[in-house]
Amino acid sequence: MDRLFFDSILLIFVLNLCFALMGLGLTTQKLSRDDFPPKPHFVFGSGTSAFQVEGAEAEDGRTPSIWDGVAQSVKNERGVDCCDGYHKYKEDVQLMVATGLEAYRFSISWSRLIPNGRGSVNPKGLQFYNNFINELVSNGIQPHATLIHYDLPQALEDEYGGWLNGKIVKDFTAYADVCFREFGDRVSYWVTINEANVYALGAYDLGIFPPRRCSAPFGISCKAGNSSTEPYIVAHNALLAHASAARLYKRKYQLTQQGFIGFNIFMYRFVPFTNATKDAIATQRAYDFYVGWFMDPLVFGDYPDVVKRNAGTRIPSFTPEESKLVKGSWDFFGLNHYNTLYVRDDLDRLKMKQRDFSMDMAVKLILDWDGVPPGEFPIDPYGTRICLEYIKQHYGNPPVFIHENGQKTFRNASLNDASRMKYLESYIGSMLEAMRNGSNTKGYFTWSFMDLFELFGGYESSYGLYYVDLDNPNLTRYPKLSAHWYSSFLKGGRTNPREMAVVEKDSFLHSKTSYASYFDQ
């Protein structure tokens, strides 16, 4: 990460002081579940993803995903697959019940359900997800399912280059069709693709995530790739695949199943590094690149002007039909939010002939680690509030879920994770402020329910409410302080955890002011 510049240390110090004072204000005002709308109008949950938690990678007909090979060396070191969720799902659902979770966010493994990505359904994969979803539902926990959380079937990568190829749209839609048909009677909240913006950048610009494609000087040691073009192509195909699956859901299933479908993006809070106008403009540019890249096509039908201008011919254009398909292809948005970054203008980057996303964005991003314990994230008590305000004000206040939010620690840290408890309390409080100001937020999920195989950090970093003892063959789960805190927060409210009602479609889609009025009562 970039180092701070001396001339700005004072500013950062002053900002930190403000944050500290605000943080004090928020944490002394005790949060309660009762401060939020009751389930099913608002749900609190936690999440994991298939590849990161299931294990059982070669069992019952599953074929490899693009993550299997990359993760193998890390996993071999430990000799175990975290967390064997494939076999321990009943126990885990009981842990969710004990914690008081109202909802659970998980993803389906495409290559477990449809080995090799295309063709016939694997009956054992189908059975597993049916069992798991039934277990959630019968225990009063609302299932929120993501169709793909990074783990593309390796077969599709090998056959035609996965997300780089427009063929992915058809295969993804066929896979989505199976999921809606088989599980849609019990799953009412669907997300097509998890944080496609980070995926496109991590996998095709920096080359740190599979399929690890990049080109110098932007990424290092990739066998192949083109950091200047591929992230834009992958993002375009992801939008088209999402829109195609969403259209199918709306035409074929929504009327009878009465559920909702959405898209998920990763979102930083951006703050100008100085009060210079150019840093304010640069901050908007950072939002346009990170957020507008996906949100603008989904809401308005095209990429932001500044993105098109700076990426030039390297970003694909939408045909009029594609634009129509993508625009409005959602019922809600999911945000994965963890951090605040400072933004410095760096327009000189546009002078480079060879550019990637970050050069096109023409800013310098700075994370302020000052005073933050090693392995942890800084806590910004405005984080969720500003992100939710941004979505509300720029995109007409669509329904939003916070799909991921949580503190990172070293996995070997103490179970007494006070910093995670403080983080959650602060960000949940910050979300409440946004909701009281009219944000149409529908739910909140901590990342992650238990310590799992982190895509960025393997078994070194952790976000879990529960610790998983990898040295015990039973992979025993132990509650951390944050699990106790979240549990007592969730149980302090008037919500009935056994209640399984789903929000009426009309009240979900057309309730832009209902939460503000809820708070007025």
Ligand X SMILES: *[C@@H]1O[C@H](CO)[C@@H](O)[C@H](O)[C@H]1NC(C)=O
Prior bond of 83 cis (ω within 30°) = yes
| Choice among 54, 376, 404, 454 that is catalytic | 404
* Measured distance CA(358)–CA(408) in Å, rounded: 25
Are 22 and 429 a contacting pair, CB within 8 Å?
A: no
**Among residues 393, 414, 488, 513, which is the contact residue for ligand X, using CB under 6 A?**
393
Q: Does 32 bind ligand X (CB under 6 A)?
A: no
Are 288 and 306 a contacting pair, CB within 8 Å?
A: yes
* Measured distance CA(49)–CA(151) in Å, rounded: 9
**Among residues 65, 226, 254, 329, which is the contact residue for ligand X, using CB under 6 A?**
226
Stretch that binds ligand X, among 49-57, 61-69, 106-114, 222-230 (CB under 6 A): 222-230
Stretch that binds ligand X, among 55-63, 256-264, 269-277, 333-341 (CB under 6 A): 269-277
Please identify, using beta-carbon distances, which residue of 54 and 389 lies nearer to ligand X: 389
First to last CA, the chain: 46
Q: Closest separation between CB of residue 244 and ligand X, Å?
A: 26
Q: Closest separation between CB of residue 319 and ligand X, Å?
A: 20
- The amino acid sitting at 161 is G
Residue indicated by tokens 């295309």: 118
Q: Closest separation between CB of residue 228 and ligand X, Å?
A: 5
**Among residues 29, 127, 131, 472, which is the contact residue for ligand X, using CB under 6 A?**
472
- What part of residues 64-123 is at the interface with ligand X (CB under 6 A)? none
Residue indicated by tokens 């011919």: 313
Q: Does 229 bind ligand X (CB under 6 A)?
A: yes
**Among residues 57, 322, 356, 389, which is the contact residue for ligand X, using CB under 6 A?**
389
Q: Closest separation between CB of residue 160 and ligand X, Å?
A: 19
* Measured distance CA(497)–CA(140) in Å, rounded: 6
Q: Does 487 bind ligand X (CB under 6 A)?
A: no
Burial of 77 (0-12, 13-18, 19+ CB in 10 A): exposed
- The amino acid sitting at 115 is P
Stretch that binds ligand X, among 173-181, 194-202, 223-231, 293-301 (CB under 6 A): 223-231
Q: Does 12 bind ligand X (CB under 6 A)?
A: no
Q: Active-site residue 404, yes or no?
A: yes
Query: How large is the greatest C-alpha to C-alpha distance in the chain, in angstroms?
Result: 62
Stretch that binds ligand X, among 258-266, 272-280, 330-338, 340-348 (CB under 6 A): 272-280
Q: Give the CA distances from residue 417 to residues 35, 395, 429, 448, in Å, rounded to whole numbers and listed in that order.
A: 24, 36, 19, 14
β-strands 363-366, 340-345 pairing: antiparallel
What is the distance, to the nearest Å, from the Cα of residue 92 to the centroid of all Cα atoms in its chain? 21
Q: Does 460 bind ligand X (CB under 6 A)?
A: yes
Please identify, using beta-carbon distances, which residue of 384 and 405 lies nearer to ligand X: 384
- The number of residues that bind ligand X (CB under 6 A) is 18
Among positive and negative, which fits the CA dihedral 438, 439, 443, 444?
A: negative
* Measured distance CA(419)–CA(376) in Å, rounded: 8
Stretch that binds ligand X, among 39-47, 144-152, 246-254, 268-276 (CB under 6 A): 268-276
**What's the full length of the chain, in residues?**
521
Q: Which of 58, 85, 18 is nearest to 466 (CA)?
A: 85
Q: What are the backbone angles phi and psi of residue 516, rounded to the nearest 5°?
A: -60, -45
| Choice among 54, 57, 195, 454 that is catalytic | 195
Those residues with Cβ within 8 angstroms of residue 239's Cβ, 6 or more apart along the chain or in another chain: 196, 294, 297, 298, 326
Q: Closest separation between CB of residue 272 and ligand X, Å?
A: 9
Stretch that binds ligand X, among 115-123, 164-172, 234-242, 469-477 (CB under 6 A): 469-477
- What part of residues 141-160 is at the interface with ligand X (CB under 6 A)? none
**Among residues 4, 11, 12, 516, which is the contact residue for ligand X, using CB under 6 A?**
11
3-state secondary structure of 145: strand
Please identify, using beta-carbon distances, which residue of 326 and 335 lies nearer to ligand X: 335
β-strands 477-479, 466-468 pairing: antiparallel
Q: Does 519 bind ligand X (CB under 6 A)?
A: no
* Measured distance CA(506)–CA(437) in Å, rounded: 22
Q: What are the backbone angles phi and psi of residue 425, rounded to the nearest 5°?
A: -60, -40
**Among residues 73, 275, 319, 521, which is the contact residue for ligand X, using CB under 6 A?**
275
Q: Closest separation between CB of residue 24 and ligand X, Å?
A: 18
Stretch that binds ligand X, among 43-51, 270-278, 365-373, 442-450 (CB under 6 A): 270-278
Helices (H), 29-65: 50-53
Please identify, using beta-carbon distances, which residue of 105 and 411 lies nearer to ligand X: 411
Q: Closest separation between CB of residue 473 and ligand X, Å?
A: 6
- What track of x and - describes contact with ligand X for positions 197 through 216 (by CB under 6 A)? ------------------x-
Are 244 and 362 a contacting pair, CB within 8 Å?
A: no
Q: Does 474 bind ligand X (CB under 6 A)?
A: yes
Please identify, using beta-carbon distances, which residue of 31 and 435 lies nearer to ligand X: 435
- What track of x and - describes contact with ligand X for positions 407 through 446 (by CB under 6 A)? ---x-x------------------------xx--------
Q: Closest separation between CB of residue 457 and ligand X, Å?
A: 9
Q: Closest separation between CB of residue 214 and ligand X, Å?
A: 9
List the structure tokens of 327: 């625009």
* Measured distance CA(207)–CA(186) in Å, rounded: 37
Catalytic center residues: 195, 404
Binding site for ligand X (CB under 6 A): 11, 215, 226, 228-229, 274-276, 389, 393, 410, 412, 437-438, 460, 472-474
